[in-house]
A and B are shown apart, each in its own frame.
Chain A
Amino acid sequence: MKMKHISHLLLYIGATGLLVSCGKSFLNVQPKGLVLESNYYQNQSQAYAALTAAYSPLAWEVGGSDNTYIDKLGALNCGSDECYAGGGGPTDMATWQAFNSYSMTGALGPQAGLWDRNYTGINNANLVIQQVPGVPNMDAATKTEYVAEATFLRAYYYFDLVREFGNIPLITHPLTADEIYTQVQTSPDSVYIQIETDLKAAIAILPPTQLPDSMGRVTKGAANALLGKVILTENNTARMQEAAGYFEAVNSSGLYQLLPNFADIFNPANKFNSESVFEIYHSAAGNAGWGSWPNIQGNVYAQMTGPRSYSGPVFWSGGWSFNPIMPGLAAFMKGDPRYSATILNVDSLSKAGAATYTAGFDNSGYFMLKFAPLSSEVSSTGQPELNFPNDYIEIRLADTYLMEAEALVRGGGDASKAQSYLDQVRARVGLPSVPATLDNIYNERRLELATEGHRWFDLVRTGQAAAVLASKGFKATNAILPIPLVELNNTKLKQNPGYQ
């Protein structure tokens, strides 16, 4: 009996010992559905996924540290003289309302979304630039092309940042843990130098066109156009000819043409049309539902701008009445052939009994058409609010025509060429020639590019903002936005003047 007990005991102790000794391997567990970074960037498809991540913030409707709604176009339209913030009430989308009324503070305004979008893009681009050259089993030409695309994207994001915030940290590699809090703001000049360097590098590599299955990836034309725009924005008269040269590389490339019908540019059926130089892709193919948040590839901004409780032609019924068009723009465009593709006067439809809707905050009755939630575009799969397919054309041929015209005029270049580009833009919509003066070119930009997100930047870079936006409360310090308050926490960053 005793022996038996002891054998039990030994068995027991043996089993316990076994458990202890296998402790270390017991604890060695492998993640599920999660790849270790050290095992990543090992082949071309992983490099492509990394490149895709660098594109991803372009189309962010939702993102940032708290995954809120942060469309870029909506914010910029609110800040310009084109749209009010609108919405359901005076504090609906408070970030936009603050931009609309120029009551932004470090804590309130659209800055956090814009900041996070661009810096996430920069980090993801930096990762491509850092990692892709070392990817094994991948041909060198593809590597170079991926890096060139990422370099373009980094320049694009920095161009947005430097125009929006002026004083920003310039980060050109993924930060290590001990670099996080040591970053300081640099001068806009050094940011512009980096942007130009990146774009020149990208121009040298990027292909002139992308194959249909790579539609949405950037081209040499996009890089040329962006570099021209960057130099134009830098406002150095001595370099206007240089800017015109980059535009000319696009305009005379033969790869792009103005669409005969102005309204067709914005039709989601005409994605990446011949006028599109750099386009931000939105897609309903993700079938996003509310559960997909924040991974939404549809255009939520379209949903935001539709009239509320609407019943009538063109729009779908469930819009939220943000960014109603300011009466000033409607009046300015009255009689222009592009009006009917830009603005829908729902108020007059309603008075004529052709439509009903609920007026939102700051309702003007004028609704945006270029990125409208059309009833014909309501997605039959997924949540309709999240699946409008409208793209943003960041740079299109009419814009590069007008920018080249502007650069030529400002730089004392070929006046007839300037005139010709201005004329082509006007002729497309059946308008006669007007002299290619700076004022006429700026007027044309306002008419041609209304509500496409250029106006606020144009007003600031041409020095018209103070005069034009005075009624909204614009002060000189509002030419750049406040640094997001949270960026000042524990860092070396300083708030922009006027927002302390």
Chain B
Amino acid sequence: MKKAIVLFFLTCLCALPVSLWAQSLQISGRIVSKTTGNPLAGATVRLKGTDQATISDGQGNFTIKAKQGNVLVITYIGADPLEFRVGTDQAPVIGLQEKAGNLEDVVVVGYGTQKKSLVTGAISSVKAADLDNMPVTRADQALEGRVSGVTIASSNGAPGSAPTVNIRGITSINGNTPLYVVDGTIVDVGGLDYLNPADIASIEVLKDAASAAIYGSRGGAGVIIITTKKGREGPAKVSYEGYFGTQSPQRKLDLTNATQYATLRNESSLAAGNGIIFQNPQSLGAGTNWQNTIFSNALVENHDISVSGGTDKALYFTSFGYYDQQGIVAKSVSNYKRFNARINSSFKIKPWATFGENFGYSYIRSQGGLNTNSEFGGPLSSAINLDPTTPEIITDPTVLSQNPYSTEPVIKNGQGQPYAISKYVGQEITNPLAYLQTQQGNYGWSHNMVGNVYLNLEPIKGLKLTTSFNAKQAFYGNESFTPIFFLNSSTTNLTNTSFYRENDQGFIWNWDNTVSYTYNLGEHHFYILGGTSAQANTGSGVNGTYLGLPVTNFQEASMNYSLAPANRIAGGFEAQPYRISSLIARFTYNYAEKYLLTANFRRDGSSHFGPDNLYGPFPSISVGWVPTKEKFLLNNGVFNDLKIRAGYGVNGNDNLPPFLYVSTVSGGRNYPFGEGGGVVVGYSPNAPANPKLKWEQNSQADAGFDATIFTHFNASFDVFEKKTSGMLLQEQIPGYVGASGEPYGNIANMEDKGVELELGYNQRIGQVNLSVKGNISHITNQITNLGIQNKYFVGANFQASGYEISRVADGHPMDAFYGFKTEGIFQTQAQINNYVNKGGQLIQPNAKPGDFKYADLDGDGAITQADRTYIGNPLPDWTFGFNINAAYKNFDVVLFAQGVAGNQIFQGYRRLDITAANYMSTALDRWTGPGTSNNYPRLVDGDPNGNFSNPTSFYLQNGSYLKLKTLQLGYTLPHNLTSHIGFTKIRIYVSGNNLITLTKYNGFDPEIGGSQGIGTGNANQYGVDNGIYPQARSFLVGLNVGF
């Protein structure tokens, strides 16, 4: 469909002359594909023999001043040039004969571009046309479901949150974030948060090592290259895109109401031999629905305006964006605002020299102190766990006159009524309404300036020199005020208010210099590129806390108050320096565009490694063959285009803290000495050093093909095998070493295997332009080695359970779920008595009917920790997405759906250590007597059989889903109508997002990201849902205007 962006790259090179407006009539025509009838955007229409030219818009429309008899020359990427003589028709429809397929596109490959038909690596690309009008908040979200082999999942539905992005599965135990390169700038820190999606011209994903090797050590987890929009020759073009909408929760949890809760609590207490807690559960009614107190509808709006244009000497694109989103959870403290400005311009200072810059600025202000996906409090976790028998507020005067309401600084609402404190559920679980009052005003902010300046020289035809200095400077921080509060007896702040302010900054620069030369000898085409790149990161920050400010809320808090020095506490940090120095080389050759070869090489030096392993080489080679250019397949009637390709390459990863190759000593091992108890700072070595640390290596073999079949279908298929060896990992060394930290080593190996398929279909059927795109990937991940000593690493922990819920283990996928295997529920005492070992002793002597029967996997006649096994996989086997675009006359419809299959989700909503926490309503189907349930055990306080505290498949659910992400209906006002009032385009649309989710998962949302992790205390593991902030369902009304 739209190829405007591709073209605009080329226009920059073509140097179209500036228009000379002739006194003549105006012709408004339309450019369409002769084969499909689809409109062609971005075709150049030039009045022959003049400098006058224009470009067709998204609907293929163009307007140019021309007289009858004039000749228009129409050029379009992927089509032969056409000359059209202007006749009497003032609105001609001009059909262009497209060359089959879309293999003529140009893709960005890192330090250069390549014709897509000549690319031999696995590169997926998303163009602006695919993203236009799509209400995505972040650039990385724009990729979700659109590219095979890329799994993107929201790890958090809070406004502005970054999703989890995995390219071709999990690449490393140790960090898996792809490298983001925006206009040549490496944006390591803070990611893509700052970038306005409306400014994006194209996104390229380098998936295989053959392509990513040009980024060497930085490309191990894949590379995402983003190019922002540039101006193109012609008069100033103004475009506005905006939408306004409302968001609501997709789903709330089905929790027990007060009567049900009281019934279950009584039963659980009685089962433990204690008394009844609630005398009359029926009298309690439904009680409080805590979810309703924090979920609400919320607004979202977005406005982008851009102006672009240029002459043959200078091109510009400038834009302003504003985005404002409230959160659906506790919107008084959950919202996100972003302002963006961008100036991209380039100047042809000599016929052989171009100077330019791309510069983006953003300011982000966000609130989000919600502590989601954590069992340790926060309004979401509280709403799930707080008992429904507690009212929202206390009005009863007798209760008000008692402890704690009369004695403690409880939080009150606007009417002076205290928010109720649960008598049953305590610790970090608090009344969410009261909790939110303690968070008012707290916010985080950032200013980001990202850009580059570059100089391109072409002193001799074919020889190009480029130097580009790229940098990102971020200023960021946050402010928060903690009032005096009493939320419950263990969550209090009773003595001092505190006011915290933090100001940080980070600076990254990279300077790239390349020389390239293109040389053609008959049908032999050579290209060689060499260059250098250097990168450095620095950062620092200061923060201060004022304790005991004489104020009660954030608005009044100020650091202008005078306080005793002991109550003014300062802190700060400096990021350890990090530098990379690299050599880059690329060689490509093709014979008649039929036999293709690309070789990349990069040598990186990283300050993360010691003298022994300072440098790492990263080579790659890939080849291609285009059979459709062979005589025997010319005009074969099936394949319009076919390219078969294969490649192999090596990438690396140096993603680890600095100075681990050498033993360092740190303070903080303190002890007080002397009268007054002044703290003496003790020093001891940090984690044991490993001077042998070296680059983690990712090697990947890839084979595949790209094809256009029967004109209307295209397909892209890849099969790959990715091996990661010597993963940089913290060894979980035994505590008896007594070290203050764990050392890193090149310890483990991992393997990903997968297949990917992208399919497309484009055709005009009658009056309908139809485009369907789909993609599906199957990836398996396996740890293949954990070093000599390590059988496994502990993955995530589960609340107070002593058992981890996942392990990183040889022969299993990353973070595989680990726990006891249940064999149903003991229905009778007889079954318990019959469950005996070889010696005739009971295997579960303490079990009671209604308890889980655990499998004695090690056969030792007792249930011990050795009876645990692998019980599930958090990683999906399949990820898929599809996209349908249809246009009929002035109407257009977009449908976009996406999903995963084959994974499990561990749902840990309920607090294990709070006996009185509320239940999911699935607890109503618990075991209550023989035959009542074989999968939900009895409720009993203290849980002596570990039915709930032992990790088992009880907590696992099928995580497969298919989600209708976007359904959009648009209407474009007729061109002749809009052009009369001076507009080139007016389109209005309505759009719904996250409308339908098909899933068996009973939590908020099966789409959960998270990080892969090892080590205790990592509660945010991939596939673990401890109460993730769910994504909103939204309905939007939008407007696109161009003039």
- A interface, CB within 8 angstroms of B: 5-6, 8-9, 12-13, 15-16, 19-20, 23-24, 26-38, 40, 46, 48-56, 58-59, 64-66, 88-92, 94, 105-108, 112, 115-116, 119-124, 126-127, 168-169, 171, 174-175, 177, 180-181, 183, 212-217, 271, 281-287, 289, 291, 295, 297, 308-309, 311, 316-318, 320-321, 356-358, 378-384, 389, 484-487, 489-491, 493, 500
8 Å CB contacts to A: which residues of B840-894? Answer: 864-865
Q: Which residues of B contact A89 (CB under 8 A)?
A: 426-427, 913-916
Interface residue from B569, B578, B675, B740 paired with A215 (Cβ < 8 Å):
B675
Alpha-carbon separation in the docked complex, A68 to B876 (Å): 33
| Contact A180 B733, beta carbon cutoff 8 Å | yes
Given A52, A66, A91, which contacts B1016 in the complex, CB threshold below 8 Å? Answer: A66
Point out the residue from A64, A212, A287, A381 that lies within 8 Å of B674, measured CB to CB. A212
Q: Are B490's CB and A52's CB within 8 A?
A: no
Is the beta-carbon distance between B913 and A283 smaller than 8 angstroms?
no
- Interface flag for B468 (CB, 8 Å): no
Q: Write out, one digit per residue, whether chain B residues 526-548 have a CB within 8 A of any chain A CB (1) or not (0).
A: 00000110100000000001011
- Considering the chains assembled together, what is the distance between the CA atoms of A261 and B743 in angstroms? 51
Complex: A217 Cα to B534 Cα, angstroms: 51
Among A52, A88, A291, A489, contact of B680 (Cβ-Cβ < 8 Å): A52
Report the number of A-B residue pairs with Cβ-Cβ less than 8 Å. Answer: 325
B865 and A94: CB pair below 8 A? Answer: no
Q: How far is the CB of B533 from chain A (nearest CB, A)?
A: 9
Cβ contacts A to B, 9 pairs, < 8 Å: A5-B460, A29-B577, A32-B577, A37-B663, A65-B732, A91-B915, A282-B677, A318-B492, A378-B495
Q: Which residues of A contact B408 (CB under 8 A)?
A: 309, 311, 317
Q: How far is the CA of A16 from the CA of B584 in the complex (A)?
A: 12
Chain A neighbourhood of B574, CB < 8 A = 32-33
Q: Do A106 and B607 contact each other (CB < 8 Å), given the known contacts A12-B513, A89-B915, A92-B913?
A: no
B404 within 8 A of A: yes
Of chain B, the residue at the smallest CB distance from A292 is B569
CB distance from B523 to the nearest CB of A (A): 29
B665 lies within 8 A of A356 (CB): no
A9 with B465: CB separation less than 8 A: yes
A493's nearest neighbour on chain B, judged by CB, is B734
Is A181 a contact partner of B688 (Cβ separation < 8 A)? no
- Please report the C-alpha to C-alpha distance between residue A168 and residue B404 in the assembled complex, in whole angstroms: 48
Closest-CB distance, B111 to chain A (whole angstroms): 13
User: Which of B532, B673, B794 is close to A216, meaning CB atoms less than 8 Å apart?
Assistant: B673
B521 adjacent to chain A (CB < 8 Å): no
The answer, among A5, A34, A311, for a CB contact under 8 Å with B459, is: A5
Q: Which residues of B contact A20 (CB under 8 A)?
A: 532, 581, 583
**How far is A308 from B688 in the complex, measured between Cα atoms in Å?**
43
Please encode chain B, from 668 to 679, with 1 for each CB lying within 8 Å of some chain A CB and 0 for all others: 111111111111
Question: Residue of A at shortest CB range from B564?
Answer: A381
Q: Contact at A180–B737, with CB atoms within 8 Å?
A: yes
Q: A108-B802, A490-B789, A490-B790 are in contact. Are A9 and B459 (CB under 8 A)?
A: yes
Is B682 in the interface zone, CB < 8 Å from A?
Answer: yes
Going nearest first, the 6 A-B pairs with the smallest beta carbon separation are A123-B738, A283-B677, A107-B802, A52-B682, A5-B459, A53-B682
Chain B residues whose C-beta falls within 8 Å of the C-beta of A108 in the assembled complex? 802
In the bound complex, residues from chain A placing their C-beta under 8 Å from that of B591 are: none
Beta-carbon nearest neighbor of B740 in chain A: A120
Give every chain A residue within 8 A of B511 (Cβ-Cβ): 19
Do A489 and B674 contact each other (CB < 8 Å), given the known contacts A29-B577, A32-B577, A123-B737? no
Known contacts A88-B426, A216-B674, A317-B494; A177 and B688 CB within 8 A of each other: yes
Complex: chain A residue closest to B685, CB-CB: A37
Point out the residues of chain B lying under 8 angstroms from A287, CB to CB. 566, 569
Q: Which of B532, B662, B800 contacts A36 (CB 8 A)?
A: B662
Q: Specify which chain B residues have a CB less than 8 angstroms from the CB of A34 in the assembled complex.
A: 576, 659, 664-666
B-side contacts of A49, CB under 8 Å = 667, 680-683
A189 CB to nearest B CB, Å? 19
Chain B, Cβ-Cβ closest to A320: B490
B739 part of interface (Cβ distance < 8 Å) = yes
Whole-angstrom distance between the Cβ of A32 and the nearest chain B Cβ: 5
Which residues of chain B come closer than 8 Å to A318, judged between CB atoms?
Answer: 489, 492, 494
B residues in contact with A487, CB < 8 Å: 734-736
Q: List, in ascending order, chain A residues with CB within 8 A of B960's CB.
A: none
Residue from the list A16, A64, A311, A321 in contact with B735, Cβ < 8 A: A64
- Please, how many angstroms separate the alpha-carbon atoms of A311 and B494 in the complex? 13
Interface centre among A90, A106, A121, A282, by most chain B C-beta atoms within 10 angstroms, is: A90
Q: In the complex, A229→B129 CA distance in Å? A: 81
Contact B802 A92 (CB under 8 A): no
Is B407 engaged at the interface, CB distance under 8 Å to the other chain? yes
Contact of A297 among B531, B672, B743 (CB under 8 A): B672
Tell me if B736 and A168 are in contact (CB < 8 A).
yes
Does B352 touch A at the CB level, under 8 Å? yes
Interface residues in B718-758 by Cβ distance below 8 A to A read 732-740, 742-743
Q: Give chain A residues whose Cβ lies under 8 Å from the Cβ of B402.
A: 356
Known A-B contacts A33-B574, A35-B665, A308-B490; the reply to A27 vs B614 at CB < 8 A is yes
Q: Mark B482-518, 1 if CB is under 8 A from A, else 0.
A: 0000100110101110100000000000010101000
Given known pairs A9-B459, A489-B792, the reply for A285 and B734 (CB within 8 Å) is no
Please pick, from A15, A36, A357, the residue contacting B663 in the complex, using a CB distance under 8 A. A36
Report how far A171 CA is from B737 CA in the complex, Å.
8
Residues of B within 8 Å of A32, CB to CB, are 574-577
Residue of A nearest to B609 (CB): A27
Say yes or no: is B684 at the interface (Cβ < 8 Å to chain A).
yes
